[in-house]
Chains A and B, each alone.
Chain A
Amino acid sequence: MRKRSAWLWITGFLGLAGIWAALLYAPRAQWPGPKGTVLGEVQRIFYFHVPLAWMMFFTFGLAAWWSFRYLATRDLRFDLKAASAVEVGLLFSVLAIGTGSLWAKPAWGVFWTWDPRLTTILLLFLGYVAYALLRSTLEDPERRARLSAIVGLVVFLNVPLTYFSVRLWRSLHPVVFLEKGSTVNVSPPMLVALLVNLAFYTSLGLFLIRMRERIARMEHALELEGEP
């Protein structure tokens, strides 16, 4: 209990530091808008849109790892962990897509376009929605765990495709980190603001997975007792 509350305090502190870094510390950057306009403040969405997208990939990666561990060990705890990670990943997907749309409108002039990155991310999201729906239709815990693990691994194949889509095809979506030797194309204050927010959303995501996992364990205990 004490450990969880310390974790919550650290996450809360990182959250406040993240807001400060994104809105006040990071410099006002110039960002190209439609028809030759230059945008400034709206670019700050970058400091939480990128961490949200990172957490989406990370939680789906964790889900794939735990799905693999389940198939290797047949230990139901890994299935519960994978399902928890997928649910939290779905939350981060919705938030990443939503914040992306709110940035796209002033930057591109539209909320949504069938760009390779946007299309692959939507397919990824729908794949994990299918995973969640599949789980809800299966009653036998062993069968549910086995099929979910297989689907979890198959759907995860879309993660690298989504990540590299901006490099593989012509895309409106910017490439955040252009590797030039060891440097990246964001200035040091921007990088600090981004890293603080990455730390916050990572800590929050792991906290949410732990909370969801606790629920999954209790539901499983009730399921074993024969309650709905």
Chain B
Amino acid sequence: MKELTYLFGAYSLVWLGIFVYLGILHARIRELEQRLQEDE
């Protein structure tokens, strides 16, 4: 049981890291696109 906790803890860390980073990138792209459009 303890082993599964470490396994799923590690998996959760990986997916959380990936999705948080993807979210940050996505938000930044939208913000920059908006700013570039405003400049045009």
B-contacting residues of A (Cβ < 8 Å)? 19, 39-42, 44-45, 48-49, 52, 91, 94-95, 98-99, 102-103, 105-106, 204, 208, 211-212, 214-215, 218-219, 221-222, 225, 227
Q: Are A48 and B10 in contact (CB under 8 A)?
A: yes
A42-B7, A227-B35 are known contacts; what are 7 more A-B pairs with Cβ within 8 Å?
Answer: A42-B3, A49-B10, A211-B22, A214-B29, A218-B29, A218-B36, A219-B32
CA distance in complex: A108, B10 (Å): 16
Q: Smallest distance from the beta carbon of A135 to chain B beta carbons, Å?
A: 16
Contact A98-B21, Cβ < 8 Å, known A106-B3, A218-B36, A222-B35: no
Bits for B6-17, please: 1 = Cβ < 8 Å to A, else 0. 110111011001
Report B-chain residues with C-beta under 8 Å of the C-beta of A204. Answer: 18
Report A-chain residues with C-beta under 8 Å of the C-beta of B2. Answer: 106
Report A-chain residues with C-beta under 8 Å of the C-beta of B28. Answer: 215
From A41, A48, A49, A221, give the contact of B3 (CB < 8 A): A41
Q: Are A103 and B10 in contact (CB under 8 A)?
A: yes
Q: Are A99 and B29 in contact (CB under 8 A)?
A: no
From A42, A214, A221, give the contact of B6 (CB < 8 A): A42
**For the side of the interface on B, what is the size category?**
20 to 34
Report A-chain residues with C-beta under 8 Å of the C-beta of B22. Answer: 208, 211
Summarize A's interface: helix, strand, loop or mixed: helix
Q: Are B3 and A215 in contact (CB under 8 A)?
A: no
Q: Are A103 and B6 in contact (CB under 8 A)?
A: yes
Q: Are A215 and B7 in contact (CB under 8 A)?
A: no
Q: 29 pairs across A/B with beta carbons < 8 Å?
A: A19-B11, A40-B3, A41-B4, A41-B7, A42-B7, A45-B6, A48-B14, A91-B17, A91-B21, A95-B13, A95-B18, A98-B10, A99-B14, A102-B6, A102-B9, A102-B10, A105-B6, A106-B3, A208-B22, A208-B25, A211-B22, A215-B25, A215-B29, A218-B29, A218-B32, A218-B36, A219-B32, A222-B32, A227-B35
Report A-chain residues with C-beta under 8 Å of the C-beta of B29. Answer: 211, 214-215, 218
CA distance in complex: A44, B9 (Å): 12
CA distance in complex: A82, B24 (Å): 19
